[in-house]
Chain A
Amino acid sequence: MPKEAYMAGCAATANGAKLARVEVITSYPIRPYTGIMMELSRMVAAGELDAEFVHGEGEHGQVSVTQGASAAGARAYTGSSGVGVAYGMEVYSPISGGRYPCQMAIADRAYDPPGDFGSEHTDVMSVNNQGWILGWAETPEESMDNCIIYYKIGEDPKVMLPQWQVQDGYFVSHIPNKVSIPDQAQVDEYLPPYNCPHALNPQNPTNHGPQIFPDQGPAIDLQRAQAFLNTPKVVEQAIADYNKAIGRNYSAWLEEYKTDGAEFVFFLMGAHCRTARFAVDHLRKKGAKVGMVKLRFVRPWPTAQVCEVLSKFKAVGVIESQTCYGGAMKGGELQHEVRASLYDSPKQPAVCSFMAGLGGEVISLEEFYNMAKILEKNAKQGKVDQYVYWVGFDNGI
């Protein structure tokens, strides 16, 4: 029987890892993700989970141990936040290139300077092109579910890619919510034990990662790109199967909230979706034609779905909790992806970004209402006045 509990994102995610029967766990402390490892170490010590628990000497070491464990054929798990995500950087590409489907949980956090514990998408978004599957959870339950679903996707023989399973620091990782924990038997049926076809194994020796000559590079890179092209079908199947097995209702790529008849929408991911839902409810009551579109995966980026869904509206406000200094639109990275997705669409909404929630600041309902005013104007005039607004600083918001 599924169990109902109140828990914050860290504990819920640890329960996801336990249900996924992770076999090698590697820790290193950094807020806010630390709670995941505290809970997993307790489970291992109490005999509730049979796994090796390795204390990494830093994130670079953590990710390295995880690479070795996954290469040797174990289901490997690690995690981090903020500067820790950056410190592991060297090892991300060897893992995706080695096609080791391990998982790294991230409770996102701002980079330094200044030292700041707050949630921000900057850490993960600055490493997002290393060949890992990547998506955000809005709630503790979604984070737990994603942990299980991501292993299912990553370990598929057509995919074989590592995954970053992200939740927003504090907003998700530290605020208790109702979580329905599935039965171990249900999860076991959904996610069979990991069976690595190319594990480092003396009984069937293989050599991994030898030096290549430049003319061998393109073919090898193409294979990793191909794995990403194979991923969408696997994602859709994995989520449909999970919904059925566990009784959830996730959309694969984009969740539309009150978009029927909407003329303008907020486009975002993670915890701020919850505030956006309240804002939409309130504004709808007042007659505004507003909705919300929630993004579930950043890699692979759902180009066709973003194009199809966002083309329906007259204006889109991309909420960016990360910065992309000096980039094409001078705001965050999401607007680049959104505009690229819409490029071939015959119907172009007016797209602007709102720089909001940086440093972990709460995006208030008031701020959502102010953003909505700008979007309403953009929808009416069919164009934007500004590509980027810094919420709290720019005219009227």
Chain B
Amino acid sequence: MAQVPTQELELLKNLRGVDQKEYYVPGHRTCAGCGPALCYKLVSKAAGADSIFLGPTGCMYVANCSYMCTPFSYAWTHCQITNGGGVASGVESAYNVLIRKGKYKGKLPNIVVMAGDGGAIDIGLQAASAMMYRGHDVLFVMYDNESYANTGIQTSPMTPYGGKTTFTPPGKMVPEGKKLFPKDAPQLFIGGHPALHYVATASIGYPVDLINKCRKGLNYKGPAFVHIHCPCPKGWLYDCKDTIRVAKMAVETGFWTNYEWENGEYTYQHIPKTYKPVKEYMKGQERFNHLNEEHIAKMQAFITAKVKAPGKPIEVPVLGPREA
């Protein structure tokens, strides 16, 4: 069947190019220093007004919107924590048929799911995978605050090894709190979805890069997945003024890696000149305070192995907000 017309979003050269207009406007009740809220603001700027956003249950639903007082200036709907990918598939299918039949005059809206880590790769994984498998033209953003935050900071598959949460409290029998290492979210999708052509990781510490990756994802016809590291002061237990510092430190220590995968190839990976020890990243966050040297060494070994992946590394410096 004929492709419906889609939008083409321009990539930014620097921070000055960012749309001055706010699409994610005041009206929310997120914590001071909330990383996911900043992520929402940036993804909204990337997508713009001709968009439909979907918000599975999580902090970015509950803390964002009160009845008659939502921060979304574009079309937006709640969906269940389980079904962001499903509802988005339905919205996209509807627009395909409505545009084809001439019942909607316009281009295919930018359709964006804003799912938490739980809503993306734990309870919401089935719906996300199905959406990507079927090839719906939807950008699936996973804002990763490394826990089930909204329910009071419980462990999710993205909670790092050694992370203290209210379901992984450290104790005599479990000194490290969380014993498992996290899922590799992008690999879950890269690994088995033939219709998926764009996957990227980004961080709120690098907004131009984040916006561009979302725009690239939206420009690709078909599904795209962008995994965004979003520090959460309430869950990670650091001072709320430090959100950007924590985000950048994650990249500087290799705890987080920004990369891109397009059409089956790794096309970009940010590699700092030297990696700082991961301890530097962990020490500002009370969630790791209970760990001993042995635990930290285990974490360092995991990170050292991780930064070697994925695929073909290309050294391209990523501009931060001040350097841009």
Give the B-binding residues of A (Cβ under 8 A): 23-24, 26, 50-52, 54-58, 60-74, 76, 90-91, 94, 98, 193, 200-203, 205-213, 216
Contact = CB atoms under 8 A, between A and B. Distances in A.
A24 B103 CA distance: 14
8 contacts: A50-B97, A52-B93, A65-B93, A67-B86, A90-B82, A94-B80, A200-B76, A205-B76
A186 to B, nearest CB: 21
Interface stretch (B64-72, B237-245, B251-259): B64-72
Nearest to B69: A210
B200 interface: no
B87 A64 contact: yes
A69 B94 contact: yes
Contact of A71 (B61, B77, B129, B130): B77
Contacts of B103: 73, 193
Given A202-B49, A208-B76, A210-B70, A64 B90 contact: yes
B83 A24 contact: no
A26 to B, nearest CB: 7
A64 B83 contact: yes
Contact of A24 (B61, B67, B70, B90): B90
Q: Which 4 pairs show the lowest CB-CB distances between chains A and B?
A: A68-B90, A64-B86, A209-B78, A72-B94
Interface string B78-101: 111011011111111111111011
B66 A213 contact: yes
B100 A50 contact: yes
Nearest to B110: A202
Interface string B155-169: 000000000000000
A105 B94 CA distance: 19
B75 A200 contact: yes
A74 B83 contact: no
Nearest to B108: A202
B97 A57 contact: no
Given A57-B129, A205-B73, A26 B49 contact: no
B98 A72 contact: yes
Given A23-B98, A202-B49, A210-B67, A71 B83 contact: no
B76 to A, nearest CB: 5
Contacts of A64: 79-80, 82-83, 85-87, 89-90, 127
B13 interface: no
Contacts of A74: 93-94, 97-98
Contacts of B62: 211
B19 interface: no
B51 interface: yes
B208 to A, nearest CB: 25
Contacts of A24: 90, 93-94, 97
Given A64-B83, A64-B86, A207 B104 contact: no
Nearest to A78: B90
Contact of B74 (A26, A91, A205): A205
A69 B82 CA distance: 17
Interface of B: 49-52, 54, 61-62, 65-70, 72-80, 82-83, 85-98, 100-101, 103-104, 106, 109, 126-127, 129-130, 133-134
Contacts of B69: 210
A91 B91 contact: no
A71 B76 CA distance: 10
B25 to A, nearest CB: 12
Contacts of B68: 210
B29 to A, nearest CB: 9
Contacts of B106: 202-203
Given A51-B97, A210-B78, A91 B49 contact: no
A207 B97 contact: no
Contact of B86 (A23, A61, A72): A61
Nearest to A98: B77
Contacts of A70: 90, 94
Nearest to B65: A210
B101 A50 contact: yes
Given A64-B89, A65-B90, 10 more contacts: A26-B90, A54-B89, A54-B134, A55-B134, A58-B126, A60-B86, A68-B77, A200-B76, A208-B76, A211-B66
Nearest to A210: B65
A329 B79 CA distance: 38
A191 to B, nearest CB: 15
B127 to A, nearest CB: 6
A69 B93 contact: yes
Given A52-B93, A60-B86, A205-B74, A216 B79 contact: no
Nearest to A212: B67
A67 B127 CA distance: 13
Contact of B93 (A54, A60, A205): A54
A56 B130 contact: yes
A68 B70 contact: no
Contacts of A91: 80, 83
Contacts of B126: 57-58, 60-61
B90 A71 contact: yes
Nearest to A204: B75
